[in-house]
Amino acid sequence: MPYVTIKMLEGRSNEQKKALAEKVTAVVAETTGAPLDRIHVMIEDMPKTNHAIGGKLSSEQ
């Protein structure tokens, strides 16, 4: 039973997350042969205040 965790900065709509989960699930099923109902996709929204690139918070860019 595959588990996929996707971490991304906050700001995507529920529709975007749904489309992402559907497409990731389809690719995992195609690649591994796992049944769709056994594939778990976890989407973790990260606050922009908890992420930095080059020493600068994403919330400040």
- Which of 1, 2, 21, 37 is labelled catalytic? 2
Contact predicate 52/26, CB 8 Å: no
* Per-residue CA distances from 4 to 9, 15, 54 (Å): 17, 19, 27
Active site residue 47: no
Q: How many CB atoms lie within 10 A of CB 21?
A: 17
The catalytic site residues sit at 2
